[in-house]
Amino acid sequence: MVGAVSGAPVKERTPGRGTLSRGPWSSAGAYPNRGPPERQTRPRTVRTGDGHPVHRPIVSPIVGIEFVGYSGDCRIFGRVPSLGERLTDLLNGGQRVIVRDARLESLDDGHIVTAPLAEVERDELYAVVAHGPRGARTQRVRTAKHRIRVDLGPYVVLGNLHSPPDADPVGDVLRRDVMVPLTNATIAYALNGRPEAEDVGTIIINRTLAEWIAPIDEVARAGASRMPRKIQIKDFTDLRTG
């Protein structure tokens, strides 16, 4: 059930869809000790004014935007094809995303599987780190920052929502497209049984998977006993809330 009251759950808890468990994927260990695959290049030859050849790299147009996504049972690393649009627009423009050189890291035990291509449904993605191009400066409008907390399956996100100055932040989130960006963000979760927290800059959340949305000041007034998630507010004692 969806509600627009600040500080209230926005829907009943439902089991999240896991990308890793959906499979099938390749055997573990293709990229066991490194992060997301680096930007790939190929050489090209150009000639200077005096006619001497110079070899320079060309970035393949299919490499695209670096991708770091958070699914119900894993983190997903790789790259997604792009024609220069913002990652938020790319995600809102379709029901799935193709991740190249995908590396999936299990939240449960940390094991890794890989695939040359992974087709990930948008409704499996709780959040995605916003890499790639930003929106055109000429199209930006005046907004106010609202610091909010969002509970998304196994994840808790703190971030700044940019809304019209007089808008209710919770209602504004619920009226937007499926994927909503938050700036100055931190995401917390459990990895291999240990709590993790990452400062990620801008993160794009899937509002349809949100179980709880509240302004930070209301979270502080409610206290940890009111929080519905296993990761309680005490886990954020060393994190910035502004």
pLDDT tens, per residue, the chain with 242 residues:
333 334 556 665 455 567 777 766 544 433 333 344 444 334 444 444 555 554 444 444 455 889 999 999 999 999 998 887 889 999 999 999 999 999 999 999 999 999 999 999 999 999 999 987 665 454 556 788 989 999 999 999 999 999 888 888 888 888 889 999 999 999 999 999 999 999 999 999 999 999 989 988 766 666 544 444 433 434 444 444 44
Q: Tell me, yes or no, whether 166 and 222 share the same domain.
A: yes
pTM value is: 0.70
Q: Tell me, yes or no, whether 185 and 152 share the same domain.
A: yes
Q: Looking at residue 165, what is its pLDDT? A: 80
92 within domain boundaries: yes
Q: Tell me, yes or no, whether 149 and 200 share the same domain.
A: yes
2 within domain boundaries: no
114 within domain boundaries: yes
Q: How many domains does the chain have?
A: 2
Q: Tell me, yes or no, whether 115 and 197 share the same domain.
A: no
Domain of 154, in residue numbers: 137-236
Q: Looking at residue 144, what is its pLDDT? A: 86
164 within domain boundaries: yes
Q: How far apart are CA 133 and CA 85, in angstroms?
A: 7
- Residue 207: give its domain's CATH number: 2.30.30.100
183 within domain boundaries: yes
Q: Looking at residue 203, what is its pLDDT? A: 96
Q: How far apart are CA 63 and CA 27, in angstroms?
A: 23
78 within domain boundaries: yes
Residue by residue, DSSP assigns 139-193 as G----EEEEEEEEETTEEEEEEEEE-TT--HHHHHHHS-SEEEEEEEEEEEEETT
Q: Tell me, yes or no, whether 123 and 23 share the same domain.
A: yes
40 within domain boundaries: no
Q: Tell me, yes or no, whether 27 and 121 share the same domain.
A: yes
Closest CA to 187 of 106, 125, 128, 99: 128
Q: Tell me, yes or no, whether 23 and 121 share the same domain.
A: yes
Q: Tell me, yes or no, whether 119 and 168 share the same domain.
A: no
Q: Tell me, yes or no, whether 160 and 123 share the same domain.
A: no
Q: Tell me, yes or no, whether 160 and 206 share the same domain.
A: yes
| Farthest-apart Cα atoms in the chain, separation | 74
Q: Tell me, yes or no, whether 124 and 141 share the same domain.
A: no
**Amino acid identity at 126:** Y
44 within domain boundaries: no
Q: Tell me, yes or no, whether 110 and 28 share the same domain.
A: yes
CA distance readout (Å), 227 to 9, 23, 219 = 10, 33, 8
